[in-house]
Amino acid sequence: MRAASLVLALWLGGFGLASAEEETVDPSRLPAGDLSLLECDYRLIGVTDGRSDPGAGALPAVSMTFPEAAATVAHRLEAARWSSASGAPGVQVQIKRLYVQSLWAQRLGVAVYQVKIDGHPPFLVRAQPGKIGANYDAESAHERLGAAMTEANETLVGFLNQQCHAKTAAR
């Protein structure tokens, strides 16, 4: 019966229409993710929240809000060991999207950042890791949001390290 309800809800094709619970993201429940270390000096100027509202998507059993998204992303990025030298290029991160979504048999976490490095035009970093499974509760939503942030953070640090290598090669 639960499966039938899920099918019906999914057939309707909505985002969060079958939600039965509202929950605020608890940063302490997000899975810790590994993050590479920066290989040259970059200074994290800050992380801002560029979303129009704190909504963080929904799975069939839960609708999420994430008001502390900016502070959480900033905290997780700190693990890359940013420079505090005033001469290091500054990096600004703005969260554009951060949400969970259910597909037919998968849960998708999505994180999109707009990144601005001193002297360069802004660009987007998008991560949307999916996971097959039948759990659609708050725990799953936390897990997917954490995975999306981890992947986006790693993509950003990976890009910055590529710039480090490019700088070294140019010398």
Partner 1 sequence: MIAGLSRPTRNPGEHMDILRTGLVAGLVLAHAGAWARNDPLPLPVAETLAVEVYFDQPELAVFLPRERVAMATSDGLLPTLLVMGLESKAERKGASEIAPVRDRLIDYGFKEAFAPVLRARLASPGLSPSPQLTWSRSTIVSKTEASQMPQQAMVLLPYFAMDRNFEQLFVRLDAQLVDRTVLPNGALKVEERISRRYEFAFLLPADMEASPANWAALGAGKLAALLEQAGSQVMDMLAYDFSAQGRAQWDARIRGTDTVLDDEQFDGREERRGEHWVWVRTENDGVAGVRGYQRMTPEMITALGTGSRSAGTLP
Q: Given the rule CB under 8 A, which residues bind partner 1?
A: 3-5, 7-23, 52-53, 55, 57-58, 63, 96-97, 99, 101, 103-106, 108, 110, 112, 114, 120-126, 128, 130, 132, 138, 155, 159
What is the Cα–Cα distance from 132 to 102, expressed in whole angstroms?
10
The first and second tokens of residue 55, run together, are 């909504």
- The SS3 of residue 5 is helix
Q: State which residue, 20 or 85, has the beta carbon closest to partner 1.
A: 20
Report the nearest approach of partner 1 to the CB of residue 143 (Å).
Answer: 16
Report the nearest approach of partner 1 to the CB of residue 23 (Å).
Answer: 6
Q: Cβ(150)–Cβ(98) under 8 Å?
A: no
Q: State which residue, 85 or 103, has the beta carbon closest to partner 1.
A: 103
Q: State which residue, 11 or 32, has the beta carbon closest to partner 1.
A: 11
What is the Cα–Cα distance from 128 to 17, expressed in whole angstroms?
21
Report the nearest approach of partner 1 to the CB of residue 130 (Å).
Answer: 5
What is the Cα–Cα distance from 84 to 77, expressed in whole angstroms?
14
